[in-house]
Amino acid sequence: MKRWLWLAVGLAVAVLVPLWLGGGEMLGHLRGFPLWLLAVLFGMILVGWVVNTLRLRLLLDDEAQKVGRLKSLAVVMATEFAYSATPGGSGGPVTLIALLSRFGVRPARSSAAFAMDQFNDLLFFLLALGGILLYALFHNLSSNMEWLLVVSASLMAAGVLLCIAMVHYHRQMIKLNGRLLSRCGVSNATRLRWARKLLHFLDAFADTLRLPRATLAKVFALTCIHWGLRYSVLYLALQGLGADLQWAWTFLIQMIALSTGQFSLLPGGAGAAELTSAALLAPMVGKSTAGAAILIWRVVTYYFYLVAGGPIFFMMVGKPLLKKLMGWRQT
């Protein structure tokens, strides 16, 4: 119950931030927003779910036959809901692995597919930030934005290098973790069980890396399409409100705001993402326009995930896993 109360408080704060920022003038902006464009924004999210479904099936390779296409889409939507409803998105991978295991997909395989999915995301954002850095060289940029851009690119590069290092030096990492766990008083049986699970995961991840290059290229292309659609929502919302802001800056604002929300450990970054985006966007387009754009952006890319994915999540997950997810931070 406390987890649901925490989510409700986060949602209330997330709504109040743009209302407080925009004031009464924001309502006029919202009334003038084209309904056809709002429908296009929701359609982009639906296309993104289909794209993610295709990406998941490619990464599962031969085991994708165990999960039908519609069921794969339902798994993706339920997983996205879990990301949005749990602190720091911690429920996302748990939901994905649990649902796929019900269809006979090995946990090592599903976790490897998830890891490869995340690696593709990191690679996309690193390349996108590199492109924005090149773009910034020929355009005026505030010192704060320059600092945020450099820090973000550095963190993304560190994440990619860490993933590569884990693959190449996994044996050393297992030994180091074993020593640390031993000093923490963890029993030999538990350490061996965790080590076996890690080795199974690494074997499955290596199998994923050995997929045909054409398949891996398709996965990365789908990754670019998914994030390109999702990170164009704020840009199109601003265009519909009559604001003129380059896509590159809206991309950077969203990435920083959502990263801040993840580090806040609030469900879906509710409140923290709105505050961060407001601080970055308001000086560029004005408070009322920024408040309206942030509200539209979060309705499409956050609340819609909860409303559309929630029923599917509850039908597929059931009470046992739901209780486990809600108490995940306590275990």
Sequential DSSP letters for 63-95: GGGGS-HHHHHHHHHHHHHHHHHSBTTTHHHHH
Token pair for residue 38? 């709002």
pLDDT at 256: 83
- pLDDT computed for residue 144 by the predictor: 57
Q: How far is residue 109 CA from its own chain's centroid?
A: 20
Q: Does position 90 have pLDDT exceeding 80, yes or no?
A: no
Global model pTM greater than 0.75: yes
pLDDT at 316 over 90: no
User: What pLDDT does residue 297 have?
Assistant: 94
Angle formed at CA 263 by CA 306 and CA 99, multiple of 5 degrees: 45
- What is the pLDDT averaged over residues 225-245? 92
In this model, does residue 304 exceed pLDDT 90? yes
pLDDT greater than 70 at residue 227: yes
Of 88-92, 169-173, 259-263, which gets the smallest average pLDDT?
Answer: 169-173
- Tell me the angle at which helices 35-60 and 107-137 cross, rounded to the nearest 10 degrees: 130
Per residue in 265-288, is it b (16+ CB within 10 Å) or e — as a string? ebbbbbbbbbbbbbbbbbebbbbb
Which range has highest mean pLDDT (12-26, 48-62, 154-168)? Answer: 48-62
The mean pLDDT value of the chain amounts to 79
Pairwise pLDDT comparison (184 vs 75), residue with the higher score: 75
Check whether 326 has a pLDDT greater than 60: no
Q: How far apart are CA 268 and CA 297, in angstroms?
A: 13
Residues above pLDDT 70, as percent of the chain: 66
Instruction: Pick 305 or 210 by higher pLDDT.
Output: 305
* 173 or 266, higher pLDDT: 266
Q: How confident is the model at residue 268 (pLDDT cuts 50, 70, 90)?
A: confident
Q: Position 74: which residue type? A: A
Judged against a pLDDT cut of 60, whether residue 329 lies above it is answered with no
* pLDDT beyond 50 at 215: yes
Q: Are 119 and 160 in contact (CB under 8 A)?
A: yes
Residue 300 has pLDDT above 90, yes or no: yes
pLDDT at residue 46 in the model: 96
pLDDT-derived band at 29, boundaries 50, 70, 90: confident
Residue 12, pLDDT score: 66
Structure tokens belonging to residue 80: 């996205």
